[in-house]
Amino acid sequence: MTRPARSELVKIVLFLVAAAAILFLPRFVSDFRAQQFAYVGIYLIALLGLNILTGFTGQISLGHGAYMAIGGYTTAILISDQGLEIGGHVFSGDLQDVWTIPIAGVVAGIFGFLFGFPALRLAGLYLALATFAVAVATPAVIRKFESFTGGGPGINLFDSPRLTGVGGTDPETFEETPAGVSIGPFDIPTFNEWLYYLSWGIALGMFALAWFMLRGRFGRALRAVRDSELAAASAGVSLARYKTLAFGISAFYAGVAGSLLGIATTFVNPETFPITLSIFLLVGVVVGGLGSLWPLVFGAVFIQFLPLWAQSISKSPGAPAVVYGVILIAVMLLLPMGAAGLIRRVTWLASRLTTRA
């Protein structure tokens, strides 16, 4: 058998194994774990988006939590029935939650696209600082526009009939009534499992979308912009168009992830999207590997599970943060190119060994 055919086959097999693992994982883990893995899927979506901007186009954003907030609040406003009002229209749960997800993405995408224009003037760390400023200001801005964000307390979605898969809680026994979703012959028994399939379904779709976008002309143009703006411009790549587009697409991904995060937590308030969220997204992209695609899964797992793990090591105040910080630095020292760099090295070594043999 020829070499390329074998590697193609390996890819297909790996993909099928991964898909099967994702499909059957909830059968083997607790409901609580399923929820945690749902968050991994959500972070993966956000990381895919941030990586299009930072990894492929070279623009650092420390403010992607802000686009997630836009997505989360868009969904919350569309499905809640709390008398929130924008321009005279009072929202009263007009849409089912799943239909608000693409809307949330588009709204965030428009904001991202627009922010892309001033961002054209900024390079490197200057852009990082500007986006950082936006992320720090986001909670204050949310509190300020109380009439449609619910201010500090935020918006509770748990009571919304538009939230799919929630059974509701018995007010006396606090037991969750069985809920879930049926799609054709498939029964998804709990809200957490539903969340899991929803976020991973969307994550896989958006993964495929990113893959298709980045492998062709568009991806080449983005990489050209990252590697040398001058060369890209002289090769006829419109910098303004690609940079703003990258910002918009990236924010679209973040908006979708934010929408899912709102649905998953069943409420949104300013603390749902803190500055640390923006920072950890960037951490996730770097840990996964700038400019990579599927290794971002490691980044998503890292930002979901490392804090929990650090918490479980020591309960003393401050200790988990120290553990997290030490591991973060250790990962950066050992794998400055992230998981993707490690994978490249391992496959390179493996191919060296097999060709020798």
CA distance 21 to 40: 14
Complex with other proteins: residue 73 or 132, whichever CB lies closer: 132
Residues 346 and 354: beta-carbon distance below 8 Å? no
| Closest approach of other proteins to the CB of residue 184, in Å | 44
Residues of this chain that interact with other proteins (CB under 8 A) are 54, 60, 118, 121-126, 128-130, 132-134, 136-137, 140-141, 228-230, 233, 239, 279, 282-283, 286, 290, 316-326, 328-329, 332-333, 336
Shortest spacing between CB 229 and other proteins, in angstroms: 5
Contacts of 235 by beta carbon, 8 Å cutoff, 6+ apart: 224
What is the smallest separation between the CB atom of 81 and other proteins, expressed in angstroms? 31
Quick one: 184 or 318, whose CB is closer to other proteins? Answer: 318
Of the candidates 4, 355, 8, 38, which has an alpha carbon nearest to the alpha carbon of residue 196? 38
Q: Which is nearer to other proteins, 230 or 353 (CB)?
A: 230
CB of 323 to other proteins, least distance (A): 8
Q: Could you give the residue ranges of the DSSP H alpha helices within the chain? A: 3-28, 31-51, 64-79, 97-119, 124-144, 146-149, 191-215, 217-227, 229-234, 239-265, 275-288, 296-313, 319-334, 338-356
Residues shown for the chain: 357
Q: How far is the CB of 311 from other proteins (least distance, A)?
A: 12
Rounded to the nearest 5°, which phi and psi values hold at 86?
-130, 120
- Give the CA distances from residue 157 to residues 69, 97, 152, 266, in Å, rounded to whole numbers and listed in that order: 15, 10, 15, 5
In the complex with other proteins, the residue whose CB is nearer, 190 or 278, is: 278
Nearest CB to other proteins, comparing residues 58 and 105: 58
Q: How far is the CB of 233 from other proteins (least distance, A)?
A: 5
Locus of tokens 């539903």: 194
With respect to other proteins, which residue has the nearer C-beta, 137 or 209?
Answer: 137
Look at residue 155 and give its three-state secondary structure.
strand
Residue pointed to by tokens 């809920």 = 179
Which residue lies nearer to other proteins by CB, 129 or 213?
A: 129
Least gap, CB of 290 to other proteins (angstroms): 7
